[in-house]
Structure formats: C-alpha cells, structure tokens
Structure 1
Amino acid sequence: MKTGIIIIFHNNAKEIDTSFFIEQINQSLNLELCLVNNDSKDETNHLLNTIKASCSNVSVVNIRKFTSDNAAVKAGARYMYNAFELNHLGYVSINMLNIKYHGLNGLMQMICKNQELILNYNYKNLKRKQTLKQRLFSVTDYLKQLKVNNPFINLQYQTNL
C-alpha cells in the first residue's frame, strides 16, 4: 500500500517545468500522485498530461467547472481511493501557497526530499476506521509540525504569520 498526494492546479502553466517535475516524480516512486486541474484556461491540463505520460505513478483529474480548493481535493481523493489501495492521502493546493520565491519546483523538491516522512504519516495516532475526509492531511502543515528544515516549508509559514 502507498501514500498518495493530491496537488491542485489552476492556471499554472507558466510555473510548470515539465522536465523538472518528471525528474522529481520519478525519484518518488513510493508516492502515488494525483494532479488535479481545476478548470484552467491556459495549457495547465496539457502539461499535466505530458507529465502523466512520462511517470508511472501519476494520475490526472480534470475538473471542467471551476470549484473551491476543498471540492477539488475531494474530487482527487475520491478518484485516488477508488483507483488505488492507499494508506493515507495528502494534499497541496498551489493557490494557497507562496510560490513566488521557490516556485512549483520548490514544492516538488520538498515532496521528493521528504517522501519518507510523508510515507510514515502519523501511523501510530490513527484510528482503525476512518472516513475519507479523516484520512486526508495537508502535506505542508504536516511537515511544518515535524519541524522539517526546508526553505520551501519555512517560507510558507514566515509569510503567512
């Protein structure tokens, strides 16, 4: 069983470096990624599908009518739980992050470098039966709680104070 990560995109084509994403994702084979396109009007969906074509552990969900980040996370979660046997499922919404300084590449590096911590997400404190919503966790909040020293994580919480 794996851990999944949902990443929500909306009009992020200019920030997506497909080669870098593919390189990072191919180093994270124990994670199952779901890239959710939340009704982008640019080339975001095309770029996400290009990444999917080069990575065995990537799925793409395309939402055709813009929805809230919570609803987009839920759509990705429903897909992931139906398609894979997952221990846990984390999420990241790009629109809620400060990507100005480290960009999406910083996010992908953070996920890749901390995949062991993400894979071992809080197993000891979890109840046996949980609803779909209870099994979702924010990847950035979780790594912040663990006091992971990562410029991307540190920047997110310095600017949001």
Structure 2
Amino acid sequence: MHIAQLMFQHNDAVVSEDDCRNKYVARQIFRRLAIQRRLSTFGFSYDCWSVQSPKIPGSTLLPAPSSSENFRLWDDDFRAGNILLTSSDKIAALIDWEFTYVGPTQFSLDPPWWLLLETAEMWLFGMDDWCEVYQKRLKTWLAAMRKAEVRDG
C-alpha cells in the first residue's frame, strides 16, 4: 500500500526510483518507531536528550499528550474554503482531501497556519510581513482558545 501511494500520488511526490525507495524506507522506519512507542518527546517535559532541553526552563514545558503514541487524521490544507455549510450554518461536508495524512497526536500542539487564510509563500507583502501579522492573529487565537477552555472546563 505504501508503494502504491508513493507511485500514484497526483502531487508529484516521487521524482525517481531512488526517491521512491528512500520515502518508502522512511515511512517504514517512522511506522516501526511508532509501534515501538519511540516517537520523539522533543520540546516536552520528558525531553532530556535534545540539545535544546537544558536551555529551556522546566517550568515552561508540558508533558507530551497522553495519547502521543496514537495517530490522527491531519490535513495541512484544512481551511474555511474547504468546508461546505448548510443554509443554517451547519457543516455539510469537508472537501479537498489532497494533503490529508495520518500523523502523531503531538501535531495538535502546533498553532494553525491558516490564521491568515493564506500561506506565507502566497502572502503578497513577503514573509516578514506574514510573520508579523501572524503573531498578532496568533495572540487573538490563543486568547479565544483559553476562553473556550475556561468555558468548557
């Protein structure tokens, strides 16, 4: 199945036999690490092996998610334009599954890129401007997340 996906993807993910072989081996290694529950805890309180760990104050680190050995469905292109709503604003469908994949639960800790509804590469005013505007929107998003967490307990 892994070979079939690498061979028939529509986004030209494979450019040669060697490239395909390397990507297949990488997937198998990642799969084996996941099965053995040896995925990285980089950046979490369990991180005692990385170069960064002694530089980060322990009080600022959180434990890895309890289900960090599990995988979830992810879509790096998931955004408002890929959600179809009914006339009463209920979700009717999700479309454009092209970049959907299965990844570790830790991905949920990363803030979404789509806070600006445009990728940094497509931002008209350049990467520096995108980063500056993104930081402002990230603060708004984090405040909304905190408010929802307090509300929902």
TM-score over 0.5 for the alignment?
A: no
Q: Which has the higher strand share?
A: 1
Q: Which TM-score band (shorter chain)?
A: under 0.3
Higher relative contact order (CA 8 A, sep 6+): 1
Instruction: Give the TM-score taking structure 1 as reference length.
Output: 0.23
TM-score by length of 2: 0.24
Work out which of the two has the higher radius of gyration on C-alpha atoms and give 1 or 2: 2
